[in-house]
Amino acid sequence: MIAKLLPVFAGKNERELARIRPVVSKINRCEEKLQTAPESKLHELTAGWREHLSGITDDATRARYLEQILPEAYAVVKNAARRMSGRQIDVGGQSMTWEMVHFDVQLIGGIAIHRGLIAEMQTGEGKTLVATLPVFLNALTGLGVHVVTVNDYLARRDSEWMGELFRFLGLSVGCLQHDQPPEVRRAQYQCDITYGTNSEFGFDYLRDNGIARTAEQQVQRGHYFAIIDEIDSILIDEARTPLIITMPGNDESDPFVRNKPAVARLVRKQTELCNGFAAEAKRQLEAGDTAAAGLALLKLKLGQPRHRQFLRMMEQPELRRLVDKVETTYQRGRFGKTLVHLKEELYFSINEKDRDADLSEMGRVFLSPKDPDAFTLPELDLEAGEDARRSFGERAREVHAISQLLKAWCLHERDVHYVVRDGKVTIIDESTGREMPGRRWSDGLHQAVEAKEGVKIESENRTCASITIQNYFRLYDKLAGMTGTAETEAAEFHDIYQLDVLPIPTHRPNLRVDENDSVYRTRDEKFRAVVERIRRARETGQPVLVGTASVESSETLARLLKRAKIPHTVLNAKNHEEEAAIVARAGERGAVTVSTNMAGRGTDIKLGPGVAELGGLFVIGTERATSRRIDRQLRGRCSRQGDPGRARFFLSLEDDLMRHHAAPDQMAAMIEQSAARASTLRGGWLGKLIEEAQQRVEQHGYKIRKRVLDFDDVMNLQRGIVYDQRNEVLHAEDIRQVIRDELRETQHEDRVAGVPPEMLAPLEREAVLRAIDWHWQNHLDDMDDLREGVFLRAQGQKDPLVEFKNEAYALFSGLMEAVRVTAVKNLERLAERVRVAG
């Protein structure tokens, strides 16, 4: 099957493109005229526009003006690119020749981005160059355009590469890098254009508003326009973990250390129990009592879904089906018992799909025989006194720690979900397989894993500032982006960010051949087939790029390739730059490159000489990812810019996606039928089944992200108020304006008597800042507790979000008042110190 030659557009997209096309013609006409003009014409035009824009303060007027000059401005950029052609430029210490002039589809992409859309353009279409158009146009305003990349290396590469073009046109370009000190960062933001990763931008925002003590320490100067490259990776994949700045807090009573031994014992008890279920299941199967066997297997699944024997038994389709059937029956309460009852026969139950752990009554009794209620939470009355609140808080922390420890033990496997190195627990990104140093799981999960591994537990940090990726990017007046894969998440982009996706045709027809999936019963069979397929490709010299879903799979495959004496490169690079260099060579004759799915994103794979005749790059996926988007991303690694290429996925029934989400019933039946003939299957409707499974996981992911956001939205309102206030204090000429009322009421003059007048303003500023930070950070702690609390209480009928909103409001309402009172007290104390010192 040949991939569609031309994307099929929904009517809406077609209309949008039809509206854009005349503008493209106009740009090209302008550009033609510029070809005969002297170079100085470009600079004149640019200077004129900047001059005019600097006088506009009204948003609507500015937007109208930009729209009006767009065709000519884009022509200027394209013409500058043309004039630069043949030039030697330096990117990352390497010399290369500039040989790009914007294609028409790139102009379309550039217009879409200026209009606040997501330009969906395939890999290799030149999105880096596309961005130069809206970046230039909007940078003319002097308000600062931020270009957001997925990693530091790409920020550096693109700022140098495209920087040549911008500097040619007289614009300044900056680039944020992780290790820059504040003065340097500030200078990058002063540039017309600033490249950087989402976390650099986000953390700068948090530091500016949560930590800076003076206006001079703040580095950002506003949020006008962010253009996000690989926008799905940032706004979808990364959006689950909020950006958090923490300070080491006090850890006198570390609930993780305290509860670790008990939880370890509990897990051992549960394992014994589960070993029993496994034995029981075997016995009953031999005795021919499938109903009893099914029940034992179901308990095993609830108690320890990653139990080795359980996993092995689930390799048999008929057993899979059995568990499934029993589970449904219990869900419906057919035997007068429901899943809830079964869970009570365990010490705790695990829901692998939702990554959740629940203590049962039996577990509670085991942990605290004398007082099992120590691990249940009472209702907290809003009117409750200080003591009741405190003891509720303590209990909530205990219960929470235990639940997190259980998750650490039963759901987070070493070398799959995290690695331990140099006494530190480092998260492995699920989709890239890359270690994420510095990132921590939230809500105490990280501490729980540290406790489990027996490494030093970083003290339960105090949040001093946090924001979700979503709410950070909503700060911008304008937001847009580009990626090869956005369409499957169009609804989420629309609902959360008001961003619409516009798929843009490719410059040349796409020749990629998408082969049908091959499905095997076991992982082993699958990997053997993959190795065999690679061997065949190598016979002709066709290069192969293999994408795996995890580092572990990459390593398994590498071992098999080694045994088969097939030379290959495994990509588990230490850094993005090295990785990019390896991926870039994946299209050379005879190359076999194994990498996790998302590694090397943003790097172009050019075909080596003669490779096109061999059929181009062959992409193999060893597993379907949990979202269709990531699969599309992998397929898109081949057949760039009209190259030939093919892609094929090899799957097995033991893959996570199949185990958790596909319809095991139908799948198993199918496998059985075909087992007699061959262990491989191809079929269109199987593909549909898998896509449905992926869609379910995507929706589930969306629900989780939405949830994180719903909670952050409550916070966002409060954060906005507090940050505004704090900024007012930082920037006010006369701080007394800000807190005048309160201070006057309390006889301000008396309190600061004896303080030299020139010291008054800094003293007041300090007094108020300290008050704001003190109360805000306490408030953040309270909000953390509250969040945990409402979830634990959610066992009842109440919606945690509603509870959270109400209580958060109550907590916040007293905050500003408390700040004023403390500010006055601080001022008194500071003034006293000055008097003593003087």
The residue number whose beta carbon is nearest to Mg ion equals 602
* Beta carbon of residue 402, minimum distance to Mg ion (angstroms, whole number): 45
> Given candidates 71, 110, 124, 202, which one binds ligand ADP under the rule CB under 6 A?
124
673-676 long-range contacts, CB within 8 A, separation 24+:
675/521
Taking CB within 5 to 8 Å according to partner kind, which of Mg ion, ligand ADP, none is near residue 346? none
Taking CB within 5 to 8 Å according to partner kind, which of Mg ion, ligand ADP, none is near residue 615? none
Please tell me the distance from the alpha carbon of residue 314 to that of residue 303, in angstroms, as a whole number.
15
- Take residue 49 and report the two structure tokens written for it: 């526009």
Is the CB of 118 or the CB of 244 nearer to ligand ADP?
118
Task: Give the DSSP per-residue string, 507-570.
Answer: SS----EEPPPEEESSHHHHHHHHHHHHHHHHHHT--EEEEESSHHHHHHHHHHHHHTT---EE
Binding residues among 316-335 for Mg ion as defined by CB under 5 A? none
Is the CB of 16 or the CB of 125 nearer to ligand ADP?
125
- Take residue 299 and report the two structure tokens written for it: 């308990």
Binding string, 602-641, against ligand ADP, x = CB under 6 A? --x-------------------------------------
In degrees, to the nearest 5, what angle opens at C-alpha 308 toward C-alphas 304 and 313? 95
Burial 767-802 (b: 16+ CB within 10 A, else e): bbbbbbbebbbebbebbbbbbbbbbbbeeeeeebee
Taking CB within 5 to 8 Å according to partner kind, which of Mg ion, ligand ADP, none is near residue 125? ligand ADP
* Beta carbon of residue 143, minimum distance to Mg ion (angstroms, whole number): 25
Provide the sign of the torsion angle of the four alpha carbons 226, 231, 233, 238, taken in this order: positive
Is the CB of 204 or the CB of 229 nearer to ligand ADP?
229
* Beta carbon of residue 229, minimum distance to Mg ion (angstroms, whole number): 6
Binding residues among 565-604 for Mg ion as defined by CB under 5 A? 602
Tell me, by CB under 6 A, how many residues bind ligand ADP. 15
- Identify which of 17, 23, 108 has the alpha carbon closest to the alpha carbon of residue 507: 108
Is the CB of 230 or the CB of 588 nearer to Mg ion?
230
- Give start and end residues of each alpha helix (H) in 240-289: 255-287
Question: Are the beta carbons of 414 and 453 closer than 8 angstroms?
Answer: yes
* Beta carbon of residue 604, minimum distance to ligand ADP (angstroms, whole number): 4
124 is in an annotated binding site: yes
Taking CB within 5 to 8 Å according to partner kind, which of Mg ion, ligand ADP, none is near residue 121? ligand ADP
- Identify which of 360, 350, 429 has the alpha carbon closest to the alpha carbon of residue 660: 350
Taking CB within 5 to 8 Å according to partner kind, which of Mg ion, ligand ADP, none is near residue 789? none
- Take residue 295 and report the two structure tokens written for it: 């029940």
218 is in an annotated binding site: no
* Beta carbon of residue 127, minimum distance to Mg ion (angstroms, whole number): 5
Taking CB within 5 to 8 Å according to partner kind, which of ligand ADP, Mg ion, none is near residue 652? none
* Beta carbon of residue 253, minimum distance to Mg ion (angstroms, whole number): 49
Scanning 123-131, 140-148, 578-586, 679-687 for contacts with ligand ADP by CB under 6 A, the matching segment is: 123-131
Is the CB of 127 or the CB of 637 nearer to Mg ion?
127
> Given candidates 20, 24, 119, 129, which one binds ligand ADP under the rule CB under 6 A?
129
126 is in an annotated binding site: yes
Taking CB within 5 to 8 Å according to partner kind, which of ligand ADP, Mg ion, none is near residue 124? ligand ADP
**Helix H or strand E encompassing 465:** strand 462-467
Is the CB of 110 or the CB of 303 nearer to ligand ADP?
110
Residue recorded with tokens 């009421």: 745
* Beta carbon of residue 644, minimum distance to ligand ADP (angstroms, whole number): 17
Is the CB of 641 or the CB of 716 nearer to ligand ADP?
641
> Is 126 an interacting residue with respect to Mg ion (CB under 5 A)?
no
- Residue 606: count of CB within 10 angstroms of its CB: 15
Please tell me the distance from the alpha carbon of residue 700 to that of residue 688, in angstroms, as a whole number.
18
Task: Give the DSSP per-residue string, 388-402.
Answer: HHHHHHHHHHHHHHH
Please tell me the distance from the alpha carbon of residue 504 to that of residue 578, in angstroms, as a whole number.
31
Please tell me the distance from the alpha carbon of residue 283 to that of residue 289, in angstroms, as a whole number.
9
> Is 127 an interacting residue with respect to Mg ion (CB under 5 A)?
yes
Question: Are the beta carbons of 158 and 149 closer than 8 angstroms?
Answer: yes
Please tell me the distance from the alpha carbon of residue 464 to that of residue 442, in angstroms, as a whole number.
14
Is the CB of 106 or the CB of 463 nearer to ligand ADP?
106
Is the CB of 126 or the CB of 645 nearer to ligand ADP?
126
> Given candidates 16, 31, 120, 125, which one binds ligand ADP under the rule CB under 6 A?
125
Taking CB within 5 to 8 Å according to partner kind, which of Mg ion, ligand ADP, none is near residue 100? ligand ADP
* Beta carbon of residue 103, minimum distance to ligand ADP (angstroms, whole number): 5
106 is in an annotated binding site: yes
Taking CB within 5 to 8 Å according to partner kind, which of ligand ADP, Mg ion, none is near residue 134? none
- Identify which of 496, 605, 506, 489 has the alpha carbon closest to the alpha carbon of residue 109: 506
* Beta carbon of residue 686, minimum distance to Mg ion (angstroms, whole number): 32
> Given candidates 13, 79, 123, 259, which one binds ligand ADP under the rule CB under 6 A?
123
Compute the radius of gyration of the chain from its Cα atoms. 30
* Beta carbon of residue 617, minimum distance to ligand ADP (angstroms, whole number): 14
- Give the 3-state secondary structure of residue 502: strand
**793 vs 221, 322, 664, CA distance in Å?**
42, 34, 34
613 is in an annotated binding site: no
Binding residues among 602-621 for Mg ion as defined by CB under 5 A? 602
Please tell me the distance from the alpha carbon of residue 440 to that of residue 427, in angstroms, as a whole number.
7
Question: Are the beta carbons of 168 and 84 closer than 8 angstroms?
Answer: yes
* Beta carbon of residue 500, minimum distance to ligand ADP (angstroms, whole number): 20
The residue number whose beta carbon is nearest to ligand ADP equals 126
> Given candidates 115, 127, 523, 648, which one binds ligand ADP under the rule CB under 6 A?
127
Give φ, ψ of 346 to 5 degrees: -115, 165
> Is 363 an interacting residue with respect to Mg ion (CB under 5 A)?
no
Looking only at the bridges linking them, the beta strands covering 225-229 and 145-149 are parallel
Taking CB within 5 to 8 Å according to partner kind, which of Mg ion, ligand ADP, none is near residue 241? none
Is the CB of 151 or the CB of 199 nearer to Mg ion?
151
Scanning 119-127, 197-205, 433-441, 742-750 for contacts with ligand ADP by CB under 6 A, the matching segment is: 119-127
- Residue 582: count of CB within 10 angstroms of its CB: 18
* Beta carbon of residue 601, minimum distance to ligand ADP (angstroms, whole number): 9
112: left (phi over 0), alpha (psi -120 to 50) or beta: alpha
Binding residues among 89-108 for ligand ADP as defined by CB under 6 A? 99-103, 106
Residues 6+ apart with CB under 8 A from 134: 110, 111, 113, 114, 145, 225, 227, 480
* Beta carbon of residue 407, minimum distance to ligand ADP (angstroms, whole number): 38
515 is in an annotated binding site: no
Is the CB of 103 or the CB of 649 nearer to ligand ADP?
103
Looking only at the bridges linking them, the beta strands covering 645-652 and 569-571 are unpaired
125 is in an annotated binding site: yes
* Beta carbon of residue 16, minimum distance to ligand ADP (angstroms, whole number): 20
DSSP class of residue 461 equals P
Binding positions: 106, 124-128, 604
Interacting residues toward Mg ion by CB under 5 A: 127, 602
List residues forming the annotated binding site for ATP: 106, 124-128, 604
Interface residues with ligand ADP (CB under 6 A) are 99-103, 106, 121, 123-129, 604
